[in-house]
Amino acid sequence: MKKRIAVLPGDGIGKEVVKGAIEILQAVAERFGHQFYFQYGKIGGEAIDAVGTPLPDETVELCKQSDAVLLGAVGGYKWERQPVHLRPERGLLKIRKDLNLFANLRPTNYYPSLAESSPLRNEVIEGVDMVMVRELTGGLYFGKPSERTKKNGEDAVVDTLFYQRKEMQRVIKLAFELAKTRKGKVTSVDKANVLESSRMWREVAEEVGKEYPEVVLEHMLVDNAAMQMIKKPKQFDVVVTENMFGDILSDEASVLTGSLGMLPSASLSQNGPYLYEPIHGSAPDIEGKNIANPIAMMLSAAMMLRLSFGMNEEAEAVEQAVNQVLDAGYRTPDIMSFAKKKVSTTEMVEEVKATL
Ligand code: ATP
Ligand code: MG
ipTM: 0.95
Q: Is 12 in the pocket of ligand 1 (CB under 6 A)?
A: no
Closest CA to ligand 1's atom 19: 283
Mark the ranges of the chain whose per-residue pLDDT is less than 70. Answer: none
Beta carbons within 8 Å of 261's beta carbon, 6+ residues apart: 278, 280, 292, 293, 294, 295, 296, 332, 334, 335
Instruction: Indicate the domain borders of the chain.
Output: 1-102+262-356, 119-256
Question: So what's the pLDDT on residue 119?
Answer: 86
- Note the pLDDT tens digit of each residue in 104-160: 999 998 888 788 778 888 899 999 999 999 999 999 999 999 999 999 999 999 999
For residue 75, give the ligand 1 atom closest to its CA.
Answer: 3
Contact in structure between 282 and 14 (CB atoms under 8 Å): yes
Q: Reply yes or no on domain 1-102+262-356 having CATH 3.40.50.170.
A: no
Burial category of 150 from C-beta neighbours within 10 Å (exposed 0-12, middle 13-18, buried 19 and up) = exposed
Question: So what's the pLDDT on residue 196?
Answer: 98
- Note the pLDDT tens digit of each residue in 224-272: 999 999 999 999 999 999 999 999 998 898 888 877 899 999 999 999 9
Q: Do domains 1-102+262-356 and 119-256 have the same CATH topology?
A: yes
Helix or strand (DSSP H, E) at 50: helix 45-51
Closest CA to ligand 1's atom 6: 281
Ligand nearest to the CA of 261: 1
Rounded to two decimals, the pTM is: 0.92
Q: Write the single-letter amino acid at 137.
A: T
Question: So what's the pLDDT on residue 84?
Answer: 86
Ligand 1 midpoint to CA 26 (Å): 26
Write out the binding residues: 76-89, 96, 106, 134, 223, 247, 251, 281-293
For residues 72 and 13, give the distance between their C-alpha atoms in angstroms, rounded to a whole number.
Answer: 8
Beta carbons within 8 Å of 263's beta carbon, 6+ residues apart: 106, 107, 108, 254, 257, 278, 279, 280, 296, 299
Question: So what's the pLDDT on residue 336?
Answer: 86
For residues 244 and 249, give the distance between their C-alpha atoms in angstroms, rounded to a whole number.
Answer: 9
Instruction: Tell me phi and psi for residue 42, to 5 degrees.
Output: -100, 140
For residue 73, give the ligand 1 atom closest to its CA.
Answer: 3
Q: Write the single-letter amino acid at 286.
A: I
Q: Is 253 in the pocket of ligand 1 (CB under 6 A)?
A: no
> In a 3-state reduction of DSSP, which class is residue 338?
coil
Question: So what's the pLDDT on residue 338?
Answer: 80
Ligand 1 midpoint to CA 17 (Å): 12
Instruction: Tell me phi and psi for residue 37, to 5 degrees.
Output: -105, 120
Pocket-testing residue among 260, 298, 331, ligand 1, by greatest number of atoms within 8 A of Cβ: 260
Question: So what's the pLDDT on residue 116?
Answer: 78
CATH number of 119-256, picked from 3.30.390.50, 3.40.718.10, 3.40.190.10, 3.30.470.30? 3.40.718.10
Ligand 1 midpoint to CA 259 (Å): 9
Closest CA to ligand 1's atom 27: 261
Q: Can you spell out the DSSP letters for 101-166? A: --EEEEEEE--GGGGGGSSS-HHHHTT-EEEEEEE-SSGGGT-S--EEEEETTEEEEE------HH
Q: Point out the residues that are catalytic.
A: 141, 191, 223, 247, 251
For residue 89, give the ligand 1 atom closest to its CA.
Answer: 3
Beta strands 154-158 and 147-151 are antiparallel
* Omega of the bond leading into 112 within 30 degrees of 0 (cis): no
